[in-house]
Amino acid sequence: MERLAFAHPAYLWGLLAVALPILVHLFNQRRPRPLSFGAIEFVLRSQRQKARRLRLRQIILLALRCLLIAAVALALSRPSLKPRGAVAAQSTGPQATALVLDASLSMRYRLGASTLFDRSRREALAALDRLGPDEPASVGLCAGPAGFVGVGIGTPSFDRAAARRLLQSAQPTFLGSDMTGCLASAARALGESPVAGKRIIAFTDLAAHSIRLDAPPPLVPPPSAPGKSSSQTGIRPTVVLVDAAQGRELPNAAIIGTAVRPSASLGPRGYEVVATVANYSAQAASGLQVSLHIGQQTLAKGFVDVPARGTAKKTLGAVLPAGVIMGRVDLAREEAQGLDEDDGQDFVVHVPRDVKALIVDGSPSSLRSRDEAFFVEAALSPARSGGRISAQTLDADAAANASLDGFDVILLLNVPAPQRAFAERLRNAVAHRGAGLFIALGDHVDPDAYNDALGDLLPRSLHLLKSSIEQGSEEHAARFGVIEWTHPLFRIFGAAERESLESARTFRYALLKPDPGSQAHTIASYDDGAPALLEGRPGAGRVLLYTSSASRGWTDWPIRSSFLPVLQQAVSFLAAALEEKSPSPAQVGDERAIAAPQGLAVAAVVGPDGKPVALRREKQSETDAVVGPLQLPGLYRTQVGPLKGTPHEDGSLAFVATLDPRESDLRRVDESELKAQLGGAGSAQVAASSEAAQGAHGTPLWSGLLLLGALALLGEGTLTRK
């Protein structure tokens, strides 16, 4: 698809000089000097032998001489090969030119050492240099939802230095791009130039996702002359799309999703990370290596086969440390080419810490099933809690003398009112150290003694014990009436599982003294309105009071299937070690609202590059914040603090920004459809380089011709010397 062009066609007349060697040849042939020679016999013999070779050599000599002259004449006319399509752009006069440089993520695609963006920028700078002195230009970087990065594309001007600076400092973004929108904006910007010719040169990878084929073609609005109505339609600019990939297919593999979930089979704090790997090439990819990193450590590696233009999931298992864990899954980098940025994804997961519980058994029994702590121990056993909870059981007397240090949760099960010293230690552990306290009642409990001993640790004071009329009579047993399903204790129940909780029957429970000023929060109550479960927050810790027994003494709830999860949740809740849902990832280019925890305000958000991100406060809230549009993929950390105080990092508010998976798909748009969308082949073209588009030199051929001439000269010299 190339065409020969000459810079100085006049020199082609020099080709006529080829006649010279031909004339000399004929002249030589015609006029030999006659000589009578004695030894003619030998001349004859030599001539006969050499005649053919001589003729051949003479012809070669003639050809070489002609070639020499022709090569020099052709070289002087400076021929060059130009890609087709150069004519259209060249034929018209000066044109206002908009240079649109695609700065989307996909332009970071690496071909060998340089990226598509680097190539395109070089092309754009070259295109800028080739503009005529009477052609104004403007430059825009196309990326992001706003169309252009920064201030957008301006009116074409003659300030080449500014345009050059803008191009030189341009960097590819991590955002998607809307090339169709950019072309339309560029066309509008061209409308503000008085120069009649309008041209857009876009440097892009022609990825199908950035181009909307159903959109109207870009139109330059007519000059807004006063007095004229706007009935005049716009004109179509010449659109040149300079293909950064030069027609190549750009295969790419990417991780487009990461899910993290606990995996009981891997033991305590075992998690499986499921990476979704997409293959955007026409060939199936086999043996792609996926690895899981936490910090500097690689925890797991695996291989996955992905069908052509398909996706596959790869699950990697790992035991994670407790806390807010920030990790990354990535694909092995491809050396030759590829988009590196989408080969990995960060994730954040909140791994609950281990809980150490002390069960104080108020009514031990040699018969296991009669033991007061039987059901609680069963519920908290490592086999059922996934190993996260380790429980130790003591009887009331032993507990009274034991140290409470190191226990996150203390469960008092049907314990007689504790001694003053033990009560003091309990208060200390809960109110100051932040431990949790679970109180279940039973026959050993004397309400007044409890009120005296524990006092403010109880969410509300105990009043008296209430029995339903007759034990065993189902009709009169109390059931849970109002349950706060959204509370962490109950939110694990789906609608189908609630019945197991609602059907539990309670025959005996404690009534509480009315206390209108109490901060206690009732999270479940019986159908007669009496509280069943209350939450209190004395100081730093949490207390749960269950007004019935944790054994079958007063209720049949412990033998119900709902007892176990509620108790496990209760222990985790009291230890502030609930499994939090990991925050959903944001997408680069989006905004993200961050809700501050109670009583604190979002102070700063630090991006993946370690620099703080600009915050915006919503009008309704002084403490919450909105960040974005997010520019970089990766982990964002949030610092919170009181409105006037030093902030600290809150791991639970950390979140991850992922890349737009559409950018990973570099499938090319169909060129003919694209041309049709842009207004037909007359005004639109796709070129491999901007040189072609602007009709500049093309591939110079004259140096090769000079070399050819030199070779001809050399050959001629060698032949005549003999």
Interacting residue ranges for another protein, rule: CB under 8 A: 28-29, 31-47, 49-50, 54, 57, 722
CA-based angle 710:712:717, to the nearest 5?
A: 95
CA separation for the pair 546, 531 (Å, rounded): 9
Residue nearer to another protein on the CB measure, 13 or 42: 42
CA separation for the pair 586, 134 (Å, rounded): 47
Residue nearer to another protein on the CB measure, 47 or 286: 47
Question: Using an 8 Å Cβ cutoff, are 187 and 84 in contact?
Answer: no
Q: Which residues contact 501 (CB under 8 A, 6 or more apart)?
A: 480, 483, 490, 493, 560, 562, 566
First to last CA, the chain: 45
Pair type for strands 95-102 and 137-142: parallel
Residue 23 beta carbon to another protein: minimum distance, rounded to whole angstroms: 15
Give me 238's structure tokens. 């010449």
Residue 43 beta carbon to another protein: minimum distance, rounded to whole angstroms: 5
Residue 57 beta carbon to another protein: minimum distance, rounded to whole angstroms: 7
CA separation for the pair 430, 362 (Å, rounded): 20
Residue 132 beta carbon to another protein: minimum distance, rounded to whole angstroms: 58
Q: Which residues contact 15 (CB under 8 A, 6 or more apart)?
A: 69, 70, 73, 74
Q: Which of 88, 105, 111, 297 is nearest to 197 (CA)?
A: 88
| Amino acid sitting at position 193 | S
CA separation for the pair 193, 191 (Å, rounded): 5
Residue nearer to another protein on the CB measure, 16 or 44: 44
Residue 39 beta carbon to another protein: minimum distance, rounded to whole angstroms: 4
Question: Using an 8 Å Cβ cutoff, are 542 and 558 in contact?
Answer: no
Residue 575 three-state SS: coil
CA-based angle 534:483:503, to the nearest 5?
A: 115
E strand or H helix that includes residue 66: helix 40-76
Residue nearer to another protein on the CB measure, 58 or 390: 58
Residue 131 beta carbon to another protein: minimum distance, rounded to whole angstroms: 59
Which sign, positive or negative, has the C-alpha torsion 663, 664, 666, 667?
negative
Residue nearer to another protein on the CB measure, 49 or 224: 49
Residue 22 beta carbon to another protein: minimum distance, rounded to whole angstroms: 17
Residue 37 beta carbon to another protein: minimum distance, rounded to whole angstroms: 5
Q: Report how far apart, in Å, the C-alpha atoms of 112 and of each of 116, 335, 336, 367 are.
A: 10, 8, 5, 75
Residue 352, preceding peptide bond in cis (omega within 30° of 0): no
Q: Which of 474, 441, 437, 472 is nearest to 457 (CA)?
A: 437
Question: Using an 8 Å Cβ cutoff, are 578 and 487 in contact?
Answer: no
Residue 28 beta carbon to another protein: minimum distance, rounded to whole angstroms: 6
CA dihedral angle for residue 64, residue 65, residue 68, residue 71, rounded to 10 degrees: -90
Residue 451 three-state SS: helix
Residue 659 zone, left/alpha/beta (φ > 0; ψ -120 to 50; rest)? beta
Residue nearer to another protein on the CB measure, 41 or 214: 41
Residue 251 three-state SS: coil
Q: Which of 420, 441, 423, 421 is nearest to 431 (CA)?
A: 423
The backbone torsions φ and ψ at residue 14, rounded to the nearest 5 degrees and listed phi first, read: -60, -20
Give me 366's structure tokens. 């040699």
Residue nearer to another protein on the CB measure, 31 or 420: 31
CA separation for the pair 343, 365 (Å, rounded): 60
Question: Using an 8 Å Cβ cutoff, are 269 and 321 in contact?
Answer: yes
Q: Which of 207, 240, 180, 203 is nearest to 101 (CA)?
A: 203
Residue 50 beta carbon to another protein: minimum distance, rounded to whole angstroms: 5
Give me 500's structure tokens. 């197991």
Residue nearer to another protein on the CB measure, 43 or 282: 43
